[in-house]
Amino acid sequence: MSIDHRRLGRELNLFDSDPLIGAGLPFWLPAGAAARHEVESYLYDLERRAGYRHVYSPALGKRRMYELSGHWHNFADDMFPPMRVGEDELVLRPSLCPHHALIFRSRGRSYRDLPLRIAELGPMYRAERSGVVGGLSRVRSMLLNDAHIFCAEEQAGAEVAGVLALMRQAHAALGMGPVSYRLSLRGPGKRYGGDDGSWARAEELLRGALADAGVEYVAVPGEAAFYGPKIDIQVADPSGREWTLATVQIDYHQPERFELEYADRSGGRDRPVMVHRSLAGSMERLFGHLIEVHEGAFPVWYAPVQLAVLPVGADQDAAARGFAASAAGLRVEVIHDGSVGARIRDHHRVPYLAVIGAREAASGEVALRLRDGSRLDPMPGAAAIELIEAAARDERQAGAEVRARP
């Protein structure tokens, strides 16, 4: 039977929905929110260490902004209708790039400031049809791991290569990997912004970055963004279906439309290239994929519960609660209901189970069980906590060793 994240996510109390909120608008329950918070924090820290500067921007803007960016002309069918507020028409944003372009424009910029890497974990909205929304894969409200790099044209290739390396690092830490790279290009029958020359330069830069990374890819006409070609990193779910989770794009169109400029070395004015990138896509689609790939048994570092403490009987409750309190740096729960065997079966997706019987309560030791069924020798509680914390830390850093590899 194939794994369906919609069924499993509800069984594990990760997320749910309600008709009164609406289709395509799931809410996250405490367990899912805990896992998501860990991943969001990891991505934020990874980006910060890679030289990104994080911002916050509004989730809506004037219709005129989206007319300038090209979204209104090319993307209006996927946008919610404008809301009249006084003399303004405000629109829920379908993407973050116009806001980031205006953040760049808000201050005078010099070639010394470039590349300027602006990142945000920001909300955006898509007017998906009722018949296609469901679970976390197709939603109307999403939180996107997004960033835009403003750079000189001669810096763009190196920036794309750096993004591809950062993606590999993030995907390794999350316990997943790309199955293919796709170069999405213009195709007939669709509307695009910009001129042929800028499209050719953008495609050349992306092909060069892929070649430098040593990865094979397939060119797919007709799948480009309206403002530029892109590299889509495809991952497969357990049923073999492919999804685009990560992407990097080169855009000459919006810098021109928003008249972005910086002072060049000669004292003149030049226009930056805008590199769009998302390491992991939206948190909704990402977790829809992660739930299925891991069958709800997430890696230790972002598992909703990292340690479940099981007292054998009522006499061990105090020892179990004391041990749980000493593990404040972990996400830990004390489980009382049911027989020990039933509790072990019901919590088989938790990375570590600590069974505390009379002997463990008296000695201050715990007997850890791993979710693969293996058992560790009894050890002091402090040593058990240190072991779990080290395992989580090692997993979280797992991507570092693959960053330099394709």
pLDDT in tens, 157-208: 999 999 999 999 999 999 987 778 999 999 887 878 888 999 999 999 999 9
Angle at 58 between CA 60 and CA 194, to 5 degrees: 65
Give residue 74's pLDDT. 86
Rounded Cα distance between 380 and 365, Å, is: 4
For the ranges 116-120, 314-318, 335-339, the one whose mean pLDDT is highest: 116-120
Task: Tell me the fold of 5-294.
Answer: BirA Bifunctional Protein; domain 2 (3.30.930)
Is pLDDT above 50 for 391?
yes
Is pLDDT above 90 for 6?
yes
Band (337; pLDDT cuts 50, 70, 90): confident
Burial 216-225 (b: 16+ CB within 10 A, else e): ebeeeeebbb
278-333 tens-digit pLDDT: 999 999 999 999 999 999 999 999 999 999 999 999 999 999 999 999 998 999 99
Residue of higher predicted confidence among 129 and 25: 25
Q: Which CATH architecture has domain 300-399?
A: 3-Layer(aba) Sandwich (3.40)
Is pLDDT above 60 for 1?
no
Could you tell me where in the chain the CATH 3.40.50.800 domains are found? 300-399
Give residue 347's pLDDT. 93
Give residue 400's pLDDT. 53
Burial 283-310 (b: 16+ CB within 10 A, else e): bbbbbbbbbbbbebbbbbbbbbbbbbbb
Give residue 167's pLDDT. 95
Rounded Cα distance between 388 and 332, Å, is: 11
Give residue 166's pLDDT. 96
Band (367; pLDDT cuts 50, 70, 90): confident
Rounded Cα distance between 32 and 291, Å, is: 10
Collapsed DSSP state (helix, strand, coil) of residue 208 = helix
With a pLDDT cut of 70, the percent of the chain lying above it is 98
- Summarize the confidence of residues 142-164 as an average pLDDT: 96
Is pLDDT above 80 for 238?
no
With a pLDDT cut of 90, the percent of the chain lying above it is 81
Residue of higher predicted confidence among 50 and 404: 50
Band (399; pLDDT cuts 50, 70, 90): low
Give residue 195's pLDDT. 87
CB atoms within 10 A of CB 28: 19
Q: HEC string of 19-44?
A: CCCCCCCCEECHHHHHHHHHHHHHHH
Give residue 403's pLDDT. 42
31-60 tens-digit pLDDT: 999 999 999 999 999 999 999 999 999 999
- Summarize the confidence of residues 114-123 as an average pLDDT: 98
Secondary-structure percent of the chain, ordered helix, strand, coil, rounded to 5: 40, 25, 35
Is pLDDT above 80 for 21?
yes
pTM given for the model: 0.93
Give residue 216's pLDDT. 93
Is pLDDT above 60 for 262?
yes
Is pLDDT above 70 for 258?
yes
Is pLDDT above 70 for 404?
no
Angle at 250 between CA 248 and CA 254, to 5 degrees: 125
Give residue 217's pLDDT. 94
Give residue 155's pLDDT. 96
- Summarize the confidence of residues 143-154 as an average pLDDT: 97
Half-sphere exposure of 195 (CA within 13 A, CB side): 4
Could you tell me where in the chain the CATH 3.30.930.10 domains are found? 5-294
Give residue 369's pLDDT. 95
Give residue 405's pLDDT. 39
Rounded Cα distance between 341 and 368, Å, is: 14
Rounded Cα distance between 391 and 398, Å, is: 10
Provide φ and ψ at 296, rounded to 5°: 80, -10
Half-sphere exposure of 209 (CA within 13 A, CB side): 28
